[in-house]
Amino acid sequence: MGDDLPIFYRDWWLDAVCGQGEWEVMLYLEDPQVVAIYTIYSKRKGPFTYVSMPPLTKFMGPYMIKPFSQRKQQKILSKMVDALPRYIGFDQTMHYQVKNWLPFYWAGYHQNTRYSFVLPDIGDLDGIWKGISTDYRNNKIKKASEQLAMKYDLETDLLISIFAAPFERQQTTMPIQASTMKRLFAACAQHDCGQSFYIEDQQGEVHAALYLLWDKDTAYLLLSGESQQWRSSGGGVLLTWCAIKHASTVLRCHKFDFLGGMSENLERTRRQFGAVPRSYHYIKKWRGPFWWISHVRR
């Protein structure tokens, strides 16, 4: 069953991002197969336990392993929501598969709509190329490819330093610990579900890097960054195009998911690649006077 799940629901992924195994899974069985699961990551603040999202994990919560009608999905989801322990707080982002959040609403939860950006059919590379903006095709990708080359498996500390560069420019701390990234990269390599890509020039200077995840259906752009001194070289755009091509021709994935980003700048860059917005639910619930925990929960 594990390899058929989206990568964020697999046990080894959750072990890597949750650290000490502070996660659990509810199983929904029928005859006597497991047909749905519900993953939970819980944390503590003093005597209180709350549900949160582990780092680098896009989705948690319910996932239907078998296809069901919307009515049957709602019935299963209602039972799983009713079975959730009584936490002081609850924050989860649901998989795209969850269209109907009414069972959460009936149980007193609240919802916000969020968006990721997805290329829904990367099997048609010619179509993807034509869908990229003229500026990206001619002024970024073609020009950069004359001077830069894509390579695999950048040294981990350098990779992490490039991912941290955007936060350093904004004089903020990267919200993901280096130890967590190293643990996750090692787990992904062990399970052949992730790899780093980078762009360098003829002098060996690294201009940009990214980390790509994949499962049977989808490739995910987990992390990306550009070196401060090479931000105008077009290397980041060229690297993203190389990752899309790799996901299509080598990994044989059907979709390419940029994994969210609600800022105006990110929306603009995703749109220039022809990606389309895809909505998902953010579900939350905080009890009584303890709403303040949500502001310090990380």
Kindly list the domain boundaries of the chain, sorted by start residue: 2-113+280-296, 122-253
- CA separation for the pair 184, 212 (Å, rounded): 12
8 A C-beta contact, residue 5 and residue 42: no
pLDDT at 298: 44
From 3.40.1130, 1.10.3470, 3.40.630, 3.10.290, which CATH number describes the 2-113+280-296 domain? 3.40.630
The pLDDT profile of the chain, 298 residues, written as one tens digit per residue, is 567 899 999 999 999 999 766 899 999 998 789 999 999 999 888 788 899 999 999 999 999 998 899 999 999 999 999 999 888 999 999 999 999 999 999 999 999 999 999 999 999 999 999 999 999 999 899 999 999 999 999 999 999 999 988 787 777 888 889 999 999 999 999 999 999 999 999 999 999 999 999 999 999 999 999 887 787 788 999 999 999 999 999 999 999 999 977 888 888 889 999 999 999 999 999 876 555 555 554 4
| Rounded-to-10 torsion of CA 102, 104, 110, 112 | -60
Residue type, 109: Y
Strands 218-226 and 255-257: parallel
SS3 content of the chain, % helix, strand, coil (to 5): 40, 30, 35
Mind giving me the DSSP string for 26-90?
Answer: EEEEETTEEEEEEEEEEEEETTEEEE---TT----EEEESS---HHHHHHHHHHHHHHS---SEE
pLDDT on residue 291: 57
Same CATH fold assignment for domains 2-113+280-296 and 122-253: yes
Kindly indicate whether the domain formed by 122-253 is annotated with CATH number 1.10.1530.10. Answer: no
What distance separates the 2 farthest-apart alpha carbons in the chain?
62
User: What is this structure's pTM?
Assistant: 0.92
Tell me, what's the pLDDT at 148? 94
pLDDT at 297: 47
